[in-house]
Amino acid sequence: MAKKIRLSSVSTDSWETDWTKCCLCQEDTVETLKLTADGYKMLAINIPKFHKMNSLPIPLDVRRFNNGSGIESTLTTNEAKYHPSCRIKFNNTKLKRVEQRYESTQSIKSEPCCSPKFIRRSIDHSDTKLKQDNREAMTMKLNDRLKTLYNKERATKKRTEEQAQIDTDAEKEARDVALAESVNYVFETQRNSDGANAFRLADLSNMYEKRVQQLSEGTIPIHRTRLKEMLLAKIPDLQAYTKGREVLLVFEKDVGPAIALACNYDDTIHIGKTAEIIRAQIKEHKTKIFLVHFSARRYPIKRSNITARTSVHD
């Protein structure tokens, strides 16, 4: 006599359901969990039918869906959630296909006298349906992977944009601080000076650029014209004047003395350079008399006179 085996009434792991996860697959994925009354009703009707035909789309223990009050009531009580991709595997369309295959198989078993041609056609039909279901399952799986990759790419792009915004904010803050310090430098220099002051835009630009680089820890291009406009906007009494290739920033009350001072400064530089050129010519040619060009005219000058003039410049 065959020994009867009674199923134990003690709960096992396969009976237990983590209701915070998908009640069907019990897996954590990036797919959003959902719950609807229509979904509960459909699962309560179709899961037993799939189980009866031994064709459950997802391996699961149907006993864990029924606490004694029925599948629909159990799902509702526990507020069961599911992945839409898992729920669709139990829909009426999938059930109908499984029932057709099941009925075809049962008809073959109940009619042993069927011709081999009919049996082969039935098997081919079942194989075609199975292949179609496999393709649909693979398509859904591929869509899930593509969705995961898209979400990762979107998160990476968001982080990149946030970092770029942080860098932009840091650069703007560095420029604002450097501009404030440049304005303060101009005011302090003017206040502590008894005479007129002429600020070279090149000097202010170099000071501004170095300070920005110190604050931002990087190389940032500086536009002198834009810096000039910002300084003039911050200091209304400041005016810009162009002398040759130089741009001078002068307070309105100091315009005359400051420009004169700048002209004297340039003349001193030119005189010094002229003296250096004359000394070089004397040393190179070793001549007593040489020609010096002033205003496109030539004057013979003795070496003693040149020596006297150059000594004055020294």
Which whole number is the average pLDDT over 188-198?
Answer: 79
Of 176-180, 221-225, 305-309, which gets the smallest average pLDDT?
A: 305-309
83-130 residue pLDDT tens = 999 999 999 999 999 999 888 888 766 655 555 655 566 666 666 777
Predicted confidence at residue 312, as pLDDT, reads 40
Residue with tokens 């530089």: 269
The winner for highest mean pLDDT among 41-45, 176-180, 288-292 is: 41-45
- Spell out the alpha helix ranges (H) of the chain: 37-52, 71-77, 84-87, 92-110, 116-191, 201-216, 224-234, 255-285, 303-313
Phi/psi of residue 123, each to 5°?
A: -65, -40
Q: 251 with 241: CB under 8 angstroms? A: no
Tell whether the model's pLDDT for residue 179 goes beyond 70. yes
- Work out the percent of the chain whose per-residue pLDDT is above 70: 66
* Structure token pair of residue 133: 């279901």
β partners of residue 239 = 250
Q: Find residue 297's DSSP bridge partners.
A: 294
Q: How many CB atoms lie within 10 A of CB 281?
A: 15
What distance in Å separates the CA atoms of residue 290 and residue 210, rounded to the nearest whole number?
A: 47
User: What is the average per-residue pLDDT within 61-78?
Assistant: 90
Work out the angle at residue 135's Cα, subtended by the Cα atoms of residues 84 and 58, and round it to the nearest 5 degrees: 45
C-alpha angle with apex 273: 267 to 276, nearest 5 degrees? 145
The confidence band for 172, taking pLDDT boundaries of 50, 70 and 90, is confident
What's the chain's average pLDDT? 75
pLDDT in tens, 241-293: 887 788 888 887 766 555 555 555 555 555 555 666 666 666 665 444 444 44
pLDDT of residue 292: 45
Which contiguous run of DSSP H or E holds residue 30? none
Question: Which DSSP state fits 8?
Answer: P
